[in-house]
Chain A
Amino acid sequence: MPRNNNIKKVLVIGSGPIIIGQAAEFDYAGTQACEELKKEGIEVVLVNSNPATIMTDKHMADKIYIEPLTVTTVQKIIDIEKPDSILPNLGGQTGLNIAMELYESGFLNSRNVRLLGTSSEGIKNAEDRQAFKDMMESINEPCIASKVVTTVDDAKEFANQIGLPVIVRPAYTLGGTGGGIAYTTEELSEICESGLRLSRVHQVLIEKCISGWKEIEYEVMRDGKGNCITICNMENIDPVGVHTGDSIVVAPSQTLADKEYQMLRTSAIKIISALKIEGGCNVQFALNPNSFEYAVIEVNPRVSRSSALASKATGYPIAKVSTKIAIGYGLDEIKNEVTGKTYACFEPVLDYVIVKIPKWPFNKFKAATRDLGTQMKATGEVMAIAPSIESALLKAIRSLEENLDSMEMPKIKEYSTEKILESLKKVDNERIWVIAEALRRGITIDEIHNITTIDKFFISKIDRIIRMEEQLKTQNVDSTLLLNAKKMGFTDKVISRLSNIPEEKIKQMRIENNIVANFKLVDTCAAEIEAKTPYYYSSYDEENESIPNKDKKKIVVLGSGPIRIGQGIEFDYCSVHSVLALKKLGYETIIVNNNPETVSTDFDIADKLYFEPLTPEDVENIINVEKPYGVIVQFGGQTAIKLTKAITQMGVRILGTTEEDMDRAEDREKFDEALERCGILRPKGDTVFTVDEAKEVANRLEYPVLVRPSYVLGGQGMAIAYDDVEIEEFINDINKIAQEHPILVDKYMLGKELEVDAICDGEDVLIPGIMEHLERAGIHSGDSISVYPTQTISKEHQDIIIDYTKKIAKELNIIGVLNIQFIISKEKVYIIEVNPRSSRTVPYISKVTGLPVIDIATRVILGEKLKDLEYGTGVYKKSDYIAVKMPIFSFEKIKNADTSLGPEMKSTGEVLGVSKVLSEAILKAFIASGTKIQNKGKVLITVRDKDKEEVSVLANELEQIGFEIYATSGTAKFLKEKGLNVKAVPKIWEGTDSIIDLIQSGKLSFIINTPTKGKESNRDGFKIRRMAVECKVPCFTALDTVQALYEAIKNGVKEQDLTPVDITVI
Chain B
Amino acid sequence: MVGYLVLENGQIFEGEKIGYDSKETICEIVFNTSMTGYLEIFSDPSYAGQGIVMTYPLIGNYGLTLEDMESKKPWVEAVFVHELAEVESNFRSKLHVEKFLKYNKVPGLQGVNTRKLTKVLRENGTMRGMLTDSISNIEEILEKIKKHEIKNLVEKVTSNEITQIGEGKINIALLDFGSKQNIIESLIKRNCKITIYPQDTKAQTILDGKFDAIVLSNGPGNPEDCKTAIENIKELYKSNIPILGICLGHQLMGIATGAKTYKLKYGHRGPNHPVKDIQKDRIYITAQNHGYAIDENSVNPEIAEVSHTNLNDNTVEGLKYKNKEIYTVQFHPEACPGPEDNNYIFDDFLKIVENRKKC
CA distance A387 to B40 in the complex (A): 23
Query: In the complex, which residues of chain B have a beta carbon less than 8 angstroms from the beta carbon of A345?
Result: 274, 283, 311
**Interface residue A528 (Cβ < 8 Å from any Cβ of B):** yes
The A-contacting residues of B in range 71-110, CB under 8 angstroms, are 82-83, 85-92
Query: In the complex, which residues of chain B have a beta carbon less than 8 angstroms from the beta carbon of A225?
Result: 281-282
Binds A, one of B52-60, B127-135, B252-260, B300-308: B52-60
- In the complex the two chains form, is A258's CB within 8 Å of B56's CB? no
- In the complex the two chains form, is A348's CB within 8 Å of B272's CB? yes
- Contact check: which of B85, B91, B122, B272 meets A349 at CB < 8 Å? B272
- In the complex the two chains form, is B339's CB within 8 Å of A265's CB? yes
Query: In the complex, which residues of chain A have a beta carbon less than 8 angstroms from the beta carbon of B86?
Result: 460, 464
**Interface residue B33 (Cβ < 8 Å from any Cβ of A):** yes
**Interface residue B154 (Cβ < 8 Å from any Cβ of A):** no
Whose C-beta in chain A lies nearest to the C-beta of B311?
A343
**Interface residue A457 (Cβ < 8 Å from any Cβ of B):** yes
- In the complex the two chains form, is A456's CB within 8 Å of B87's CB? yes
Knowing A520-B115, A541-B116 touch, does A256 contact B274 (C-beta < 8 A)? Answer: no
- In the complex the two chains form, is A349's CB within 8 Å of B68's CB? no
- In the complex the two chains form, is A258's CB within 8 Å of B36's CB? yes
A618 to chain B, nearest CB (A): 20
- In the complex the two chains form, is A257's CB within 8 Å of B90's CB? yes
The A-contacting residues of B in range 9-68, CB under 8 angstroms, are 31, 33-37, 39-40, 55-58, 61-62, 65, 68
A-B contact count (CB 8 A): 160
- Contact check: which of B274, B337, B340 meets A343 at CB < 8 Å? B274
Binds B, one of A161-169, A350-358, A580-588, A1018-1026: A350-358
B27 to chain A, nearest CB (A): 20
**Interface residue B251 (Cβ < 8 Å from any Cβ of A):** no
- In the complex the two chains form, is A346's CB within 8 Å of B285's CB? yes
The A-contacting residues of B in range 318-342, CB under 8 angstroms, are 335-341
Query: In the complex, which residues of chain A have a beta carbon less than 8 angstroms from the beta carbon of B122?
Result: 527-530
- In the complex the two chains form, is B113's CB within 8 Å of A252's CB? no
Whose C-beta in chain B lies nearest to the C-beta of A253?
B36
- In the complex the two chains form, is B335's CB within 8 Å of A349's CB? no
**Interface residue B114 (Cβ < 8 Å from any Cβ of A):** yes
CA distance A254 to B285 in the complex (A): 21
Whose C-beta in chain B lies nearest to the C-beta of A269?
B341
- In the complex the two chains form, is B116's CB within 8 Å of A229's CB? no
B182 to chain A, nearest CB (A): 11
Whose C-beta in chain B lies nearest to the C-beta of A223?
B283
Knowing A259-B65, A332-B283, A542-B113 touch, does A526 contact B118 (C-beta < 8 A)? Answer: yes
CA distance A706 to B34 in the complex (A): 59
The B-contacting residues of A in range 326-382, CB under 8 angstroms, are 331-332, 341-343, 345-353
- In the complex the two chains form, is A227's CB within 8 Å of B312's CB? no
- In the complex the two chains form, is A528's CB within 8 Å of B118's CB? yes
- In the complex the two chains form, is A227's CB within 8 Å of B283's CB? yes
- In the complex the two chains form, is A527's CB within 8 Å of B118's CB? yes
Question: What band does the interface of chain A fall in when counting residues whose beta carbon is under 8 Å from B?
Answer: 35 or more
Whose C-beta in chain B lies nearest to the C-beta of A232?
B35
**Interface residue A389 (Cβ < 8 Å from any Cβ of B):** yes
Whose C-beta in chain A lies nearest to the C-beta of B268?
A528
- In the complex the two chains form, is A258's CB within 8 Å of B312's CB? no
**Interface residue A290 (Cβ < 8 Å from any Cβ of B):** yes
**Interface residue A549 (Cβ < 8 Å from any Cβ of B):** no
Knowing A388-B58, A541-B115 touch, does A332 contact B312 (C-beta < 8 A)? Answer: no
CA distance A289 to B122 in the complex (A): 38
**Interface residue A266 (Cβ < 8 Å from any Cβ of B):** yes
Knowing A258-B337, A527-B115, A528-B55 touch, does A349 contact B34 (C-beta < 8 A)? Answer: yes
- In the complex the two chains form, is B273's CB within 8 Å of A346's CB? yes
Knowing A229-B285, A257-B65, A261-B36 touch, does A528 contact B88 (C-beta < 8 A)? Answer: no
Query: In the complex, which residues of chain A have a beta carbon less than 8 angstroms from the beta carbon of B82?
Result: 387
**Interface residue B221 (Cβ < 8 Å from any Cβ of A):** no
In the complex, per-residue mask of A456-499: 1 if CB is within 8 Å of any chain B CB, else 0 = 11001001100000000000000000000000000000000000
- In the complex the two chains form, is A527's CB within 8 Å of B339's CB? no
- Contact check: which of B57, B68, B87, B338 meets A257 at CB < 8 Å? B68
**Interface residue B119 (Cβ < 8 Å from any Cβ of A):** yes
CA distance A332 to B34 in the complex (A): 22
Query: In the complex, which residues of chain A have a beta carbon less than 8 angstroms from the beta carbon of B116?
Result: 541-543
CA distance A346 to B338 in the complex (A): 13
Query: In the complex, which residues of chain B have a beta carbon less than 8 angstroms from the beta carbon of A528?
Result: 31, 33, 55, 118, 122, 270
Taking chain A's interface residues, is the majority helix, strand, or loop, or is none over half, making it mixed?
loop
**Interface residue B180 (Cβ < 8 Å from any Cβ of A):** no
**Interface residue B245 (Cβ < 8 Å from any Cβ of A):** no
CA distance A252 to B58 in the complex (A): 11
Question: What band does the interface of chain B fall in when counting residues whose beta carbon is under 8 Å from A?
Answer: 35 or more
- In the complex the two chains form, is A331's CB within 8 Å of B68's CB? no
**Interface residue A616 (Cβ < 8 Å from any Cβ of B):** no
- In the complex the two chains form, is A455's CB within 8 Å of B282's CB? no
- In the complex the two chains form, is A526's CB within 8 Å of B56's CB? yes
**Interface residue A255 (Cβ < 8 Å from any Cβ of B):** yes
**Interface residue B193 (Cβ < 8 Å from any Cβ of A):** no
- In the complex the two chains form, is A445's CB within 8 Å of B115's CB? no
Knowing A257-B90, A332-B274 touch, does A346 contact B61 (C-beta < 8 A)? Answer: no
Query: In the complex, which residues of chain B have a beta carbon less than 8 angstroms from the beta carbon of A269?
Result: 341
A218 to chain B, nearest CB (A): 12
CA distance A351 to B338 in the complex (A): 16
**Interface residue A850 (Cβ < 8 Å from any Cβ of B):** no
**Interface residue A138 (Cβ < 8 Å from any Cβ of B):** no
- In the complex the two chains form, is B35's CB within 8 Å of A527's CB? no
**Interface residue B276 (Cβ < 8 Å from any Cβ of A):** yes
- In the complex the two chains form, is A526's CB within 8 Å of B36's CB? no
A140 to chain B, nearest CB (A): 15
- Contact check: which of A226, A258, A543 meets B37 at CB < 8 Å? A258
Knowing A265-B339, A349-B35 touch, does A255 contact B113 (C-beta < 8 A)? Answer: no
**Interface residue B271 (Cβ < 8 Å from any Cβ of A):** yes
CA distance A265 to B335 in the complex (A): 13
Query: In the complex, which residues of chain B have a beta carbon less than 8 angstroms from the beta carbon of A456?
Result: 87, 89
Knowing A225-B281, A229-B285 touch, does A527 contact B119 (C-beta < 8 A)? Answer: yes
A696 to chain B, nearest CB (A): 57
**Interface residue A291 (Cβ < 8 Å from any Cβ of B):** yes
The B-contacting residues of A in range 212-268, CB under 8 angstroms, are 225-230, 252-259, 261-262, 265-266
A124 to chain B, nearest CB (A): 26
Query: In the complex, which residues of chain A have a beta carbon less than 8 angstroms from the beta carbon of B34?
Result: 258, 349
Whose C-beta in chain A lies nearest to the C-beta of B64?
A257
CA distance A269 to B37 in the complex (A): 20
B55 to chain A, nearest CB (A): 4
**Interface residue A525 (Cβ < 8 Å from any Cβ of B):** yes
- Contact check: which of A228, A342, A343, A349 meets B270 at CB < 8 Å? A349
CA distance A460 to B57 in the complex (A): 17
B286 to chain A, nearest CB (A): 10
Whose C-beta in chain A lies nearest to the C-beta of B284?
A227
Query: In the complex, which residues of chain B have a beta carbon less than 8 angstroms from the beta carbon of A257?
Result: 36-37, 39, 62, 65, 68, 90, 92
A85 to chain B, nearest CB (A): 25
Query: In the complex, which residues of chain B have a beta carbon less than 8 angstroms from the beta carbon of A351?
Result: 33, 55-57, 114-115, 118
A-B contact pairs, 13 of them (CB 8 A): A226-B282, A229-B274, A254-B58, A257-B62, A265-B339, A266-B339, A266-B340, A331-B283, A342-B274, A346-B274, A527-B115, A529-B122, A541-B113
Enumerate the 5 nearest inter-chain pairs by beta-carbon distance, A residue then B residue, closest first: A258-B37, A460-B87, A258-B337, A526-B55, A347-B272
Query: With A225-B281, A262-B340, A351-B55 given, can you name 19 additional A-B contacts, CB distance below 8 Å?
Result: A227-B283, A252-B35, A254-B58, A255-B90, A256-B62, A256-B90, A258-B40, A258-B336, A262-B335, A289-B91, A343-B312, A346-B311, A388-B57, A445-B87, A457-B85, A463-B87, A527-B115, A527-B118, A528-B33
